[in-house]
Amino acid sequence: MNTIRRRLTVWYAVALGLAMAAFGLVLYLERRQSTFQELDGRLQLEAQFAARWLVESKRVVGRLTDRAPGRPPALDPGVAAYFENVRDALVLADAQGRVLYASAAARELGFEGIEQLVRLGRAAPASSAVGTVTGLRGGDHRWAALPLPRLAPEAAILVVAVDTDEVAFGPAALVQSMLAAAPVIVLAALMLGYLIAGRALGPMVGIVDELEAITDGRSLHRRLAVPMTGDEVSRLAQTLNGMLARLEQSFGTLRRFTADASHELKTPLMVVRAGVERALTDARTPGELVPALDEALGQVNRMSHMVESLLTLARVDEGRAPLAFEPHDLRALVQEAGETAEMLGEPAGIAVTVDVPEAAEVLPVDAERIRQLLMNLVTNAIKYTPAGGRVDLALERREQAVVLAVRDTGIGISPGDVDRIFDRFFRGDQARSRTGDRPGTGLGLAICKWIAEAHGGSITVASRPGKGSAFLVALPRPAPAPGGEA
């Protein structure tokens, strides 16, 4: 499940990883720059010491080079002995660019490397210069050149160089250490971020759980716990509590109006029905008025049924519809509903079958409410089954429940309406219109759903347009007594 807590944890780890990468890059560049600055200072200092030695040697000895006949000029062996212990590459050249001396490290660079260092030294300005040269044997080298005007013309250029790989070990080791530690740090960040996100979103989880428990108008009296933090979560809880209070007031007003209106309409409807029935049975009533009176009586009966259904649901919403549970054999209720279905379906030639087990199925139920549930389902099945169709009633025994099944071969229910079929006043297509051949109120299935759930059970429907529908009411069996049989 993609939760806010997980997303916050991931983003926390990503942010920490990016911050670590940026910090490591800046630290590496800074340490590298500092290392090169230290290296440049060392090379320049080394070049200055070498220059002083050459100046002092010339003053004492009187010469620097050994110019034997037939051989190129070279640094005097006595003077050169001082440079034998120099670890870096040191090259000394005269004004014509001829190499007078190359240290052991410089000789490892080869002839081309030494010549390149001499060219860099000759191109340097009058004062000392530093830089980086690439392509030398072994990799990049940092160099420092120092002109020797006091030693001209015997010596003119002094160049000292060192391989950068030998001095950049510190920054490289730092990067390696950070890369090795990064997985551990990121893993610790994930764990810490998950804990922090859970702690921060803990009140939100409680709010969501409480809101999920408020599933209908009867739960609107519940309120959310407001965190004493004064932050956004606290404001959210206060806002939701205000919304729940307004919804509770609106639902309460609607329920009271529905209950009061239904109750107040019962008496006038009874008076109207009694008057119409009296007129229909009165021999003095003109014959041409009988059809109109008969239609009026049908509409009054339909309205009375709707008012009674509304009053039932209003009492359910207010929690004033108690059930009287008593052990009852469900077979008798199914057979009774089957007899009613036969009478209702006989004019249209609808076949009705009843299938009940031989053994009694006794459950603690409210017999009147179960009878009402079955009558609603049977009436709907007959109403929406074409002439010549079939309606089947069955009492099926399951492992942990008893199922009341009402199946028909009627017009069926469209897939888009199946999820809404138990909503109050919902009626699907034109075949289910209140003004069509199958009038109704749209409250019967809502009452069936309440009866099933009030018994701890459930009601489901399976249907295909043109193939019929099957309503299944599952009533749970009571838990067996200790030591008794299931």
Residues 139-196: tens digit of each pLDDT: 788 889 988 888 877 788 899 988 877 665 566 677 777 778 778 887 887 888 778 7
Distance of alpha carbon 2 from alpha carbon 7, whole angstroms: 7
- The token duo for 334 is 């199914």
pLDDT of residue 84: 83
Answer yes or no: are the C-beta atoms of 395 and 361 closer than 8 Å: yes
The answer to whether the peptide bond before residue 153 is cis (omega within 30 degrees of 0) is: yes
Q: Answer yes or no: is pLDDT of 431 > 60.
A: no
- The token duo for 84 is 């034998």
* pLDDT classification of 1: cutoffs 50, 70, 90: very low
pLDDT of residue 70: 64
Residue that wins the pLDDT comparison between 397 and 249: 397
Choose the weakest-confidence range: 248-257, 325-334, 456-465: 248-257
Distance of alpha carbon 209 from alpha carbon 12, whole angstroms: 26
Residue that wins the pLDDT comparison between 330 and 83: 330
Distance of alpha carbon 443 from alpha carbon 448, whole angstroms: 9
Q: Which residue has the tokens 């036969």?
A: 342
Q: Please state the rounded mean pLDDT for residues 258-281.
A: 74
pLDDT of residue 264: 67
pLDDT of residue 326: 92
Distance of alpha carbon 436 from alpha carbon 420, whole angstroms: 20
pLDDT of residue 353: 94
Residue that wins the pLDDT comparison between 286 and 396: 396
Nearest-10 Cα torsion for 414, 419, 420, 424? 130
pLDDT of residue 432: 44
Sign of CA dihedral 354, 359, 361, 367: positive
Residue that wins the pLDDT comparison between 205 and 274: 274
- Name every residue whose Cβ is closer than 8 Å to that of residue 478 and which is 6 or more positions away in sequence: 363, 364
Q: What is the mean pLDDT of the chain?
A: 81
Which residues is 158 bridged to in the sheet?
92, 146
Answer yes or no: are the C-beta atoms of 461 and 469 closer than 8 Å: yes
Q: Answer yes or no: is pLDDT of 403 > 80.
A: yes
Q: Which of 22-26, 394-398, 426-430 has the highest mean pLDDT?
A: 394-398
Share above pLDDT 90 across residues of the chain, in percent, rounded to a whole number: 17
Residues 103-147: tens digit of each pLDDT: 888 888 888 888 888 888 888 776 778 888 887 776 788 889 988
Residues 19-28: tens digit of each pLDDT: 888 888 888 7
Phi/psi of residue 319, each to 5°? Answer: 75, 25
Residue that wins the pLDDT comparison between 305 and 337: 337
**For strand 74-75 and strand 65-66, is the pairing parallel, antiparallel, or unpaired?**
antiparallel
Distance of alpha carbon 158 from alpha carbon 90, whole angstroms: 7
pLDDT of residue 40: 84
Residue that wins the pLDDT comparison between 258 and 308: 308
**For strand 390-397 and strand 351-355, is the pairing parallel, antiparallel, or unpaired?**
parallel
Q: Answer yes or no: is pLDDT of 45 > 70.
A: yes
Q: Please state the rounded mean pLDDT for residues 3-25.
A: 80
Q: Please state the rounded mean pLDDT for residues 393-410.
A: 92
CA distances for 22 relative to 17, 19, 170, 175, 188, angstroms: 9, 5, 18, 12, 19
Nearest-10 Cα torsion for 185, 191, 193, 198? -170
pLDDT of residue 169: 55
Answer yes or no: are the C-beta atoms of 124 and 91 closer than 8 Å: no
